Amino acid sequence: MGVPIRLHFTFILLLIFLIVTGLGSNQSPVNYTLLILALIASVLLHELGHALVSSRYGIRTLEIVMFPIGGVARLERPAKPKEEFWIALTGPLVNLLIAASIFGVFYLQHKAVDLFAFDQPSDSNVVDRVALGNLILAGFNLLPAFPMDGGRMLRAVLSRMRSEFEATRVATWSGRMLAISMGLFGFIYQPMLAFVAFFIYLGAANEGAASRGRLLTLGIPVRAAMVTKYHTLSHGNTIRDAANLLLSTSQQDFPVVHGDQVVGLLGRNSLLRGMASEGQDSYIAGFMDREFPSVTPDRDLSEILPFLAHAGACTLVMQDGQLLGLLTSENLSQFLLLRSVGLQPAEG
Which range in 189-203, 254-268, 298-312 is most confidently predicted, on average pLDDT?
Answer: 254-268
Indicate if the pLDDT at residue 279 is higher than 90: no
DSSP 288-323: SBSS--EE-TTSBGGGTGGGG-STT-EEEEEETTEE
**Which CATH homologous superfamily contains domain 222-342?**
CBS-domain (3.10.580.10)
Task: Kindly state the average pLDDT of the residues 249-260.
Answer: 90
**pLDDT given at position 14:** 74
The Cα-based distances of 304 to 146, 312, 336 in angstroms read 22, 14, 13
**Domain boundaries along the sequence of the chain:** 5-217, 222-342
Q: Residue 91: what pLDDT?
A: 92
Percent with pLDDT over 70 in the chain: 95
pLDDT confidence of residue 22: 65
Report how far residue 254's alpha carbon sits from residue 67's, in angstroms, rounded to the nearest whole number: 32
Is 86's pLDDT higher than 90?
Answer: yes
Residue of 326 and 208 predicted with greater confidence: 326
Structure confidence at residue 59 (pLDDT): 87
Residue 271's nearest CA partner among 258, 257, 259, 289 is 289
Please say if the pLDDT value at position 231 is more than 60. Answer: yes
Give me the mean pLDDT over the 46-62 stretch: 89
Q: What is the mean pLDDT of the chain?
A: 84
Q: pLDDT for 134-185, tens place per residue?
A: 999 999 889 888 878 998 899 899 988 888 778 888 888 888 888 888 888 8
Report d(CA 330, CA 71) in Å as an integer: 26
- Picking from 105-109, 202-206, 247-251, 321-325, which range would have the lowest pLDDT averaged per residue? 202-206
Is the predicted pLDDT of residue 348 greater than 60, yes or no?
Answer: no
Q: What is the dihedral of CA 18, 20, 23, 26, to 10 degrees?
A: -40
Q: Looking at residues 189-208, what average pLDDT do you find?
A: 78
pTM of the complete model: 0.69
